[in-house]
Structures are given as structure tokens and as C-alpha cells.
């Protein structure tokens, strides 16, 4: 069975600082990987996705993520955080042949200090 | 294009009551699913559907019923509510395709409290 681990429950960064949120997955074949963001009281919005090919993927709002097969990781990065990035971030894994079925991590809550 | 619409946004039930959470999508997506979100546990899959008339169980299906009579609608029924079902519920949909089927569009969520 596939699983996702987000080891950091809560992270605080200063506005303008760089950000890296960690995500490790467990899956036997090449996974499909996703990062979603959830603002307070809102639904989940897709930030970026990885299916195959270039291991560095660009997403919306200036985010990027890198797939590292050797480390089973898909960490999310942003070079300069804005106060509006404060939210909860979820990493998720899916696979070919499944439909609308993702396995989510437990989430990382990002706090941004001014 | 409204996307995925969930109603109600908030609901309070007493133990043993039944209710239905509504979900509708206008993107002509074939696949739909229901997740629940609990603190510290991320999102867990309750039920999913690969098309009208076809549903299957996810990770945490007990206490919930679903049906899919049309492509657009995928209601979630709580037959006899329990406090353990207090949660935020999200409906999601995705198109067909090996990759597209995994790209979920979520509704805004329904917060349910069972007393």
C-alpha cells in the first residue's frame, strides 16, 4: 500500500525567507505526486504535480518541487515566502490506473512571521 | 463554471440522526470521491465512483453510503450519525485518463458536528 509522510507538523518562517517542506512517499512503482494547499476554512488547491520526466516541477504561486527517486522524496520549495503563503500544505501520492484516489500526508502548517 | 459544489457548508446533528451531504460538479468529470479531514490525520478516502452507477469503498467507508445516479451528482449519506463522524468532508472530482484521473478538483468542504 502506498503511504505519504510529512515529518514537519508545523513550520514558522519569516517573510522573505526561503521555504522547504518535506514529503516522503512509499510506493513500489513510479508514483504520481502532488502538493495541495489549504487556506483556513477553504478547500484544497493544487499547487503542482509530477507524473514523469523532468524531476523539477514548477507550480503556481512561485512554488516548485523536486522528485528524488533515490530518497523517495518530493519536497516543496519556495525561494521567498510571502505572508499570504500561510496555510496548510498537503503532499499526496497517486498511481496510474486509479481514479480520484489519492493518499495524503498529514499536512504541514506554515506560519509566516512579518 | 462552478466546479465542485458542496452543500451544506455547516451542519450539526444529534447522535443517531441521518443526513445527506450533497456534491455536484459541472466539469463533466467521470470520477468522483469523498474524503474526510481530521486534525493530524490528513485526508482519508471514504468512497469513490468511476462513473454513473459504479461506486466502491475507500479507506474509511463504515457508517457512510453513496450512490451515483448521474455523472454530476455524488451524495454522501450518514445513516445513523455518531460523534466519531464529526469531521470536515470534501468532495472531489477528476477527469478520465491515466494521469488526469489523479488530478483532483475539490469542493469547499462541509463541516459536520455530531453531538
Q: How confident is the model at residue A18 (pLDDT cuts 50, 70, 90)?
A: very high
Contacts of B43 in chain A (CB under 8 A): 44, 90, 92, 102, 104
Cβ neighbours of A98 in B, within 8 Å: 101-102
pLDDT digits (tens, 9 = 90+) for B27-60: 999 999 999 999 888 999 999 999 999 999 999 9
Name residue A64's beta-bridge partners. Answer: A58, A77
DSSP letter for A84, please. Answer: G
Q: Spell out which residues of chain B touch residue A106, defining contact as CB-CB under 8 Å.
A: 40-42
Mutation for testing the B interface, residue in A3, A100, A106 having most B CBs under 10 Å:
A100
pLDDT in tens, A69-80: 999 999 999 999
Is residue A37's pLDDT more than 80?
yes
What is the pLDDT, as a whole number, of residue B2?
A: 83
pLDDT band per the 50, 70, 90 thresholds, residue A101: confident
Residue B101 has pLDDT above 90, yes or no: no
Q: What angle (nearest 5°) sits at the alpha carbon of residue A71, between those of residues A66 and A72? A: 75
In 3D space, the residue among A80, A76, A96, A79 whose CA is nearest the CA of residue A35 turns out to be A76
- How far A106 CA lies from chain B's nearest CA (Å)? 4
pLDDT at B17: 97
Question: Does A113 have pLDDT greater than 90?
Answer: yes
Distance from CA of B96 to the nearest CA of A (A): 8
Amino acid at each position: 500500500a502506498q503511504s505519504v509522510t510529512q515529518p514537519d507538523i508545523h513550520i514558522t518562517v519569516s517573510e522573505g525567507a526561503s521555504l522547504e517542506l518535506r514529503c516522503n512517499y512509499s510506493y513500489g512503482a513510479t508514483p504520481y505526486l502532488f502538493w495541495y494547499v489549504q487556506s483556513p476554512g477553504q478547500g484544497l488547491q493544487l499547487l503542482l504535480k509530477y507524473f514523469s520526466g523532468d524531476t523539477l516541477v514548477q507550480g503556481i504561486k512561485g512554488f516548485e518541487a523536486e522528485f528524488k527517486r533515490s530518497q523517495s522524496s518530493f519536497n516543496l520549495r519556495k525561494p521567498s515566502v510571502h505572508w499570504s503563503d500561510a496555510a496548510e500544505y498537503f503532499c499526496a501520492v497517486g498511481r496510474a490506473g486509479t481514479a480520484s484516489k489519492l493518499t495524503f500526508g498529514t499536512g504541514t502548517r506554515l506560519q509566516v512571521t512579518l | 463554471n462552478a466546479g465542485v459544489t458542496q452543500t451544506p457548508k455547516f451542519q450539526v446533528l444529534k447522535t443517531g440522526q441521518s443526513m445527506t451531504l450533497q456534491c455536484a460538479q459541472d466539469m463533466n468529470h467521470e470520477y468522483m470521491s469523498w474524503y474526510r479531514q481530521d486534525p493530524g490525520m490528513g485526508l482519508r478516502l471514504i468512497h469513490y465512483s468511476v462513473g454513473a452507477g459504479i461506486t466502491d469503498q475507500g479507506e474509511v467507508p463504515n457508517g457512510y453510503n453513496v450512490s451515483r445516479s448521474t455523472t454530476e451528482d455524488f451524495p454522501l449519506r450518514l445513516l445513523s450519525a455518531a460523534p466519531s463522524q464529526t469531521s470536515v468532508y470534501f468532495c472531489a472530482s477528476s477527469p478520465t485518463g491515466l494521469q488526469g484521473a489523479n488530478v483532483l478538483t475539490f469542493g469547499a468542504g462541509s463541516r459536520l458536528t455530531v453531538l
